[in-house]
Amino acid sequence: MGSQTHTINPLNKVQFADMTSSFEIALEGMSCQHCVSRVRETLEALEGIEVQDVRIGAATVRMDSERITLDEVEDALRTVGYEPV
């Protein structure tokens, strides 16, 4: 069973079936390595998220939809100053 990558945006929310799929979350407001670290730490603190990559402007994660929702992930990112797009 292979991984799939989906871009998440407000117009096309993706339903998560299990932790076998990868999802990229585009983010506004990131401009430096401190931002990358802050996003990574925020995502790693969430139950049901496995962080695969974080770079300026985006994060790639695997998500367990039975433990966390996309709205919860987006809210956590907004709380630390980054806007999912």
Prediction pTM value: 0.76
pLDDT digits (tens, 9 = 90+) for 35-81: 999 999 999 999 999 999 999 999 999 999 888 988 999 999 999 99
Q: Which domain holds residue 36?
A: 5-84
- For residue 84, report the phi and psi dihedrals to the nearest 5 degrees: -65, 135
Nearest to 36 by CA among 62, 54, 61, 60: 54
Number of domains in the chain: 1
What are the tens digits of pLDDT across the range 4-40?
A: 444 444 434 444 445 557 889 999 999 999 999 999 9
Instruction: Say what the pLDDT of residue 77 is.
Output: 98
pLDDT of residue 13: 44
Return the CATH number at 42.
3.30.70.100
Q: Where are the beta strands (DSSP E) in the chain?
A: 5-8, 22-28, 49-55, 58-63, 83-84
